[in-house]
Structure 1
Amino acid sequence: MRDEGRLWVSAGVASECGPRAENQDFAGVYLGTEIERAGRGMVAALADGVSGGKGGRIAAELAVASLLDGYFTQSDTIGVAAAVNRVMAPYNRWLSAMGRSEAMAHCATTFTTLVLRGRRAHVCHVGDSRAWLLRDGHLSQITKDHTHSHPDRRHILLRALGLEEELRLDHHEIALAEHDRLLLTSDGVHGVLSARKIEKILSQRQSAEADAQALATAALDAGGQDNASALVLDVVSLPAMGHDAIAGDLARLPILPPPEAGESVDGFRLESILSDGRYTRLFRATDTADGAEVVIKFPKPTLLSESGARSAFTRELLIGSRVSSPFVGGAIPVSLERQTRLYGVQPFYDGQTLEERMKAPIALDEALGIAVGLTRAVAALHRQGIIHRDIKPENVILPREGGLKLVDLGVARLPRIEDFTGDEIPGTPSYLAPEMFSGEAGSEESDQFALGVTLWRLFARVWPYGEAEAFSRPRFREAAPPSRTRPELPGWLDAVLLRAVAIQPQDRFGDVVELLRALEGGAAVERTPLRKPALIERHPVAFWKGVSALLFAALIAVLVWK
């Protein structure tokens, strides 16, 4: 899989005192070291000291400082919310106790923090400071104010740091996307500026620092009488998706019976059924959010175990989003907020499968191009330690605009990832290598065998060892050269295909890259129309039998003449 990306953001903070005598807001950001970002992530926080008590500025500043100092000392084996709570709960108890003293009577502060870890943002919140998300030009409020519901009493806090001895933090989790903008504001900003005005300022997409300052300034210019603070985080890049994270997301989704054409699921309009297999049902669909054509795959829970279904969809999403190759099909992640059941979304490739294409004759030159592209697809997977395990013409798409896509990655074998159970090891009998019938779970050698069978069918239009029925085992014996059924095939291609489908794994190519070189090397000299091979090349036994018969006839003629 391609190199791991990294989590990186651009941050900007602005805090203006306004007409108040003292600025009781405090905001801070810590982007962390490379090691800290990989383990615990990045942290931003904003606190607004309650003006009705003493020490509001102290309460706010110490709240942010306590989090930034203590969060990165927590074990990265516990969740973000638990780590934040472990740091802030003792501080809350201390602040609550100080609020009963003369020096800091009734001190309290709102508190909202953003923790960015992996491909997720975690929001922990108490009080009426707010967290926001700007995505695709639309601003949404993440947090809910802990204030009195009556319009005339909305300035009264029901929860904040220091108001109660026991800390109660709200926790929200968001799946991030690159170019997201995250925002924290004190009520001196959002109490004056409407959500529409905030959205307009953030949508200007200046630097994070400039837009944070623009928000604070706009609040004061609009007549704000409070401190005005804003903290902006721009998501620049995200790490590649990990298996555990994807599996965790999909584990919460129910597995339901597959829908029918004409229905809509989570904003995807299911136009028509593309295939209805034993374990899954595929639809051509339209994403009503942007009009894009996609393919959606639903599991069939009555035939595939729950663990098998989740494992398959996790693998397909992981590989499709991380393997960078023009010859391997992709995957489209769906946000946690949108997806309500288990399914997978893929790009729609307008074309036909290789199986469909092979129903009509394929010129040798075109077949060579398909063979090279498919072998490159398998090589791209193998470079990342991924074994496809179900290479066959039905899983190869030939888009109308050209090229090739190897799809159906849900049964792939991944390095260091738990495999399917024994009775769910995938594959199609006619393409399975001999060793897989003896318990092999899939290897580069078995992938090469399936690729070889696919290419054999592409060039010779038959199976090297015959077509096997489901749940049956082919008879593996020495295969006749593919030119036996298609005489115009060159001798070098006979040798390549015979080696790729060798019965013993050690007799095959060392890897598919070696197979690719053999195909490309032979194709380079076979781009012109080929002569029909001589009879001695096509049928050497018949040739020598004919020669012997002619010699015998000549001998008889000579004896008679004598």
Structure 2
Amino acid sequence: MSVRVVHDLRIEAGFATQKGRRPDNQDYVAFCLGSGGAGALQGVVAAIADGVGGHKGGRAAAETAVRAFIDGYYAQPETLGVSRAAARSLEAANSWIAAQSRVDPSLEGMATTFSALILSRRTAFILHVGDTRVYRLAGASLERLTKDHTLGRGDFAHALLRAVGFDDALLFDQGMHSLNIHDRFLLCSDGVHGVLPDAKLRALLAERGGPQETSERIVQTAFEAGSHDNVTALVVDVVDVPPADERALSRAFAALRIGELPAIGDLVDDFRIDGLLSEGRYSRLMRATDTQNGKAVVLKFPHPRVADDAAYRLAFVNEAWVAARVRSPFIGEVVELLPGRQSRLYSVMPYYDGETLERRLRREPRIDLVEGASIATRLSRAIATLHRCGVIHRDIKPDNIILLKDGGLRLVDLGVCRAPNLENLSEAHAPGTPSYMAPELFDGAAGDEASDLYALGVTVYRMFSRCYPYGEIEPFSRPRFTKPPPLAHKRPDLPSWLDAAILKAIAVERADRFGDVLEFAFELENGSARAQPLTLRKKSLYERNPVLFWQTLCLLLALLLAISLFYR
């Protein structure tokens, strides 16, 4: 099934359950939008319970726990918050089940394991007790979000240490995780994970069939693998998440201090600093490891000297806001941290295994036509993705382009971008890097698709020639935009159509440029089919040195005149 909840959180879910080789099914599973339907602010709830075998009322305990939890959760006031509302609901369900097991002989000892997943806006909340499990597939990585409450060793390794209904006071685990588009969650009973190792579950989830199809396939695979227990699986796909609110982001970043730059080996909010990646005028990029999950990330810290400059705080808001709205395999991501984790101002990005285009163009071999055209067309698609969303990058350059080892490309650093509903940088802060800025930006223009196209053209020119078409422009200087030297002067091995396409992209007059970056990409992709490489003829002496040419000619004429007079 597919549902849509308030604030554009869109979820698809499906589940399957079988009694397997047991005489009856003591598992219970449910997925619920809540009594408010599509307007429920508490989000959606997925829950699974597995009645404790060997006790009376196992099935009743499982169904009661799930139903009571869901009903109780949605009955709580929204102002209570997800975590507190969920905890109160589970505690109430536990108290009722524990009481029933004492007063009703037919339900003596009733108890159940329990795991719940609540998806609210941009956060996933976990509640868990027992040995049912919750997994998350993010990309190709499978992460188990719960820990089994079992003895874990000896002949009684699977003996439960905790369960709903064991005691009047329930000890359970809670967790919060940032919610990302394309996350896939699996809730399953021990009849599934007891026979299917994590690697097999990852492979089944990574097939990316529909949630209903995937849950049925997991259950059937577990049964065929010899499971002797009930087998139940619930799969939840995150199709879309609500965008971050710009005002909330601004308030959050405004409250964070700008501290001294960390050193290698320091621990910042559970991020271990592993190394320095790059140093700029206003920020430092550092490679780090998230010790909470072991993932490699990149942290961008502002320099302390910009602590009082609101413009550079705004840059962090820009990046977070755009990253929440523009999703593309060509655009760099920003990792959203859970509330309360971040103690100072910085942004977190995934670590992309590769190198910047700037570093690539500085090493041999030089970028040839095939490699360069591929990079340029992928970069064009990245910029076109931003433009379709109304976002102007305004700082396109080789330093902000990452070439991945797997052949991918990521355009990063959206700190000075223009976007709808975003507060803009003041006129005192001209956006971009001077050598890549279009002429109109030096006249006070804010930047648009045409200026991004110009920066793309300069990037491509430099990628092939290792030079700037109008020379390197120093900050705060006023450049002169004379006719750029043809690319063929530096690279006679490249075709003339490429030269013409780049010169059109970097034309001084906006009207002389391509209509958009996709026109430029089309020219790069199809130009080689229409023209042959340009072979430069050797320049004549007159073209290379006209003064020497006339001096030589005059000397020759004087010599001929002297010879003529001698013979007369």
TM-score bin, normalised by smaller chain = 0.5 to 0.7
Structure 1 residues 256-275: aligned runs within 5 Å:
256-261=259-264, 272-275=275-278
Which among 276, 280, 284 is matched to residue 283 of structure 2? 280
Corresponding residue of 1:380: 382
Structure 1 residues 51-450: aligned runs within 5 Å:
64-65=66-67, 80-81=82-83, 113-116=116-119, 120-123=123-126, 132-134=133-135, 141=146, 157-159=167-169, 172-175=175-178, 178=183, 180-183=185-188, 203=198, 205=201, 207-209=217-219, 232-235=233-236, 237-239=237-239, 243-244=243-244, 256-261=259-264, 272-283=275-286, 296-300=298-302, 302=304, 303=306, 307-308=313-314, 310-311=316-317, 314=320, 318=324, 322-324=327-329, 328=330, 330-331=332-333, 342=346, 343-350=348-355, 353-354=357-358, 357=361, 362=366, 366=368, 369-370=371-372, 373-383=375-385, 384-385=388-389, 386-397=391-402, 405-411=409-415, 413=417, 416=420, 418-419=422-423, 421-422=425-426, 426-450=431-455
Question: Hey, what's the Cα distance between the residues in 2 that align with 1:180 and 1:9?
Answer: 9
Give the secondary structure class of the aligned counterpart of 2:354. coil
Shift of 1:390: 1.1
Structure 1 residues 466-505: aligned runs within 5 Å:
466-470=471-475, 472-475=476-479, 477=481, 479-483=482-486, 486=489, 492=497, 495-505=500-510
C-alpha spacing 1:536/1:373, structure 2 compared with 1 (3 Å):
farther
Structure 1 residues 521-536: aligned runs within 5 Å:
521-524=526-529, 528=533, 530-532=535-537
Question: Hey, what's the Cα distance between the residues in 1 that align with 2:421 and 2:466?
Answer: 36
Question: Hey, what's the Cα distance between the residues in 2 that align with 1:121 and 1:169?
Answer: 17
Shift of 1:449: 1.4
Give the secondary structure class of the aligned counterpart of 1:531. coil
- Number of equivalenced pairs: 487
Shift of 1:265: 6.4
Question: Hey, what's the Cα distance between the residues in 2 that align with 1:412 and 1:505?
Answer: 21
8 A contact 1:132–1:141 mirrored in 2:
yes
Q: Deviations over 1:524-556 (max 9, x none)?
A: 4555461328779989xx89x99xx99xx9xxx
Q: Deviations over 1:69-126 (max 9, x none)?
A: 797899999965587699x69x98x989x99xx999x99998864334577432357x
Corresponding residue of 1:193: none
Counterpart of 2:505 in structure 1: which amino acid?
A
Counterpart of 1:475 in structure 2: which amino acid?
P
Shift of 1:429: 1.8
C-alpha spacing 1:500/1:355, structure 2 compared with 1 (3 Å):
farther
Give the secondary structure class of the aligned counterpart of 1:376. helix
Give the secondary structure class of the aligned counterpart of 1:238. strand
8 A contact 1:367–1:458 mirrored in 2:
no
Corresponding residue of 1:148: none
Give the secondary structure class of the aligned counterpart of 1:430. helix
Structure 1: stretches of 5+ with no match in the other structure: 146-150, 161-167, 190-196, 220-228, 558-562
Corresponding residue of 1:225: none
Shift of 1:299: 1.1
Give the secondary structure class of the aligned counterpart of 1:244. coil
Question: Hey, what's the Cα distance between the residues in 1 that align with 2:472 and 2:71?
Answer: 66
Counterpart of 2:448 in structure 1: which amino acid?
S
Question: Hey, what's the Cα distance between the residues in 2 that align with 1:502 and 1:143?
Answer: 64
Shift of 1:68: 5.6
Counterpart of 1:382 in structure 2: which amino acid?
A
Counterpart of 2:117 in structure 1: which amino acid?
L
Shift of 1:509: 1.1
Counterpart of 1:500 in structure 2: which amino acid?
A
8 A contact 2:132–2:148 mirrored in 1:
yes
In the alignment, does 2:521 pair up with 1:516? Answer: yes
8 A contact 1:112–1:131 mirrored in 2:
yes
8 A contact 1:375–1:512 mirrored in 2:
no
State the TM-score, normalizing by the size of structure 2.
Answer: 0.60
Question: Hey, what's the Cα distance between the residues in 1 that align with 2:402 and 2:163?
Answer: 63
Question: Hey, what's the Cα distance between the residues in 2 that align with 1:367 and 1:452?
Answer: 15
8 A contact 2:45–2:118 mirrored in 1:
yes
Counterpart of 1:27 in structure 2: which amino acid?
Y
Shift of 1:451: 1.6
C-alpha spacing 1:397/1:213, structure 2 compared with 1 (3 Å):
closer
Shift of 1:517: 2.8
Counterpart of 2:510 in structure 1: which amino acid?
P
C-alpha spacing 1:482/1:74, structure 2 compared with 1 (3 Å):
farther
Structure 2: stretches of 5+ with no match in the other structure: 1-7, 151-160, 205-216, 562-568
Corresponding residue of 2:457: 452
State the TM-score, normalizing by the size of structure 1.
Answer: 0.61
C-alpha spacing 1:419/1:182, structure 2 compared with 1 (3 Å):
farther
Counterpart of 1:530 in structure 2: which amino acid?
T
Which among 30, 38, 46 is matched to residue 43 of structure 1? 46
Question: Hey, what's the Cα distance between the residues in 1 that align with 2:164 and 2:520?
Answer: 72
Shift of 1:428: 0.8
Question: Hey, what's the Cα distance between the residues in 2 that align with 1:496 and 1:265?
Answer: 47
8 A contact 2:380–2:517 mirrored in 1:
yes
C-alpha spacing 1:45/1:199, structure 2 compared with 1 (3 Å):
closer
8 A contact 1:14–1:212 mirrored in 2:
no
8 A contact 2:271–2:288 mirrored in 1:
yes
8 A contact 1:59–1:109 mirrored in 2:
yes
Question: Hey, what's the Cα distance between the residues in 2 that align with 1:274 and 1:77?
Answer: 43
C-alpha spacing 1:513/1:210, structure 2 compared with 1 (3 Å):
closer
8 A contact 1:467–1:474 mirrored in 2:
no
Question: Hey, what's the Cα distance between the residues in 2 that align with 1:11 and 1:37?
Answer: 23
Shift of 1:323: 1.2
C-alpha spacing 1:239/1:257, structure 2 compared with 1 (3 Å):
farther
